[in-house]
Chains A and B, each alone.
Chain A
Amino acid sequence: GDSVTQMEGPVTLSEEAFLTINCTYTATGYPSLFWYVQYPGEGLQLLLKATKADDKGSNKGFEATYRKETTSFHLEKGSVQVSDSAVYFCALPNQGAQKLVFGQGTRLTINP
């Protein structure tokens, strides 16, 4: 079945460091891919998405490129801020089961 695997956390970085959070997936066909972010004490919110191969999603300085050759959707940001501290989830839709399939989440902490 469909699945999403994220790099294990937690990840701790200093402000202005470069960030990569790896995400690989297994799915039938070529589904849309999402990154959701969960700030402390809040629900999840969509950070960015890509709907087809080679698409790049971007938002708030974060980027991710849909790579069907490597079945990956890695999240990157060139210079992180303290306010980026959150849990990040990679996800894809499973239409048959009417659900989002989530990775286990990666907790990111940015120190000043």
Chain B
Amino acid sequence: NAGVTQTPKFQVLKTGQSMTLQCAQDMNHEYMSWYRQDPGMGLRLIHYSVGAGITDQGEVPNGYNVSRSTTEDFPLRLLSAAPSQTSVYFCASSYSGVLGGEQYFGPGTRLTVT
């Protein structure tokens, strides 16, 4: 199993550009999520999905869109990049949500917006 994979590993964008961060998992997990990691702030939830066709907002959703057309994939779209979105982005998945079970994290995408 590859686990959770993310692409690209690094990306530099100019303000106003758009892009999609890819996330895929091969563990047949229903729950997937996106976090951003900023220095001194831990990780904050952007969006999550409890199954194909179902998505919901986390605590910092502004400027980001998601969709979940398959169980395996959960892409994160930046609509119009801003310097405040410079961060490291992690995708995570688990079998059944956040209670008790282990979250599996991808290796991250380091995004810089200039």
In the A-B complex, the 4 residue pairs with the closest CB atoms: A102-B42, A43-B105, A93-B98, A99-B45
* B-contact bits for A70-112, CB 8 A (1 contact / 0 none): 0000000000000000000100011101111011110000000
- The CA of A94 and the CA of B41, in the complex, are separated in Å by 17
Contacts of A44 in B (CB 8 A): 43, 90, 92, 103, 105
Interface residues of A (CB under 8 A from B): 4, 31-32, 36, 41-46, 49, 51, 89, 93-95, 97-100, 102-105
Contact digits for B39-60, partner A, Cβ 8 Å, 1 yes 0 no:
0111111001010000010110
Output the nearest chain B residue to A102 by Cβ-Cβ distance: B42
Q: In B82-105, which residues have CB < 8 Å from any A CB?
A: 90, 92, 97-100, 102-105
Give A51's nearest chain B residue, CB to CB: B100
With the chains together, A19 CA to B104 CA distance in Å?
A: 26
Q: Pick the contact of A95 from B33, B99, B106 — CB < 8 Å? A: B99
A35 to chain B, nearest CB (A): 12
Closest Cβ of chain A to B34, distance in Å, is 11
Interface contact A95-B98, CB-CB below 8 Å:
yes
Distance to closest chain A CB from B46 (angstroms): 10
Cross-chain contact of A97 among B42, B59, B92 (Cβ < 8 A):
B59
**Cα separation A10 to B4 with both chains bound (whole Å):** 29
Write out the residue numbers on chain B whose beta carbons fall within 8 Å of the beta carbon of A98. 31, 33, 45, 48, 50, 56, 58, 97-98
Q: Are A43 and B106 in contact (CB under 8 A)?
A: yes
**CA A95 – CA B70 in complex, angstroms?**
23
**Assuming the A-B contacts A89-B42, A95-B98, are A100 and B107 also in contact, with contact meaning beta carbons closer than 8 angstroms in the complex?**
no
Q: What CA separation (Å) do A28 and B103 show in the bound complex?
A: 21
- B108 at the binding interface (Cβ < 8 Å): yes
Residues of B with C-beta under 8 A to A31: 99
**Are A105 and B97 in contact, with the CB atoms below 8 A?**
no
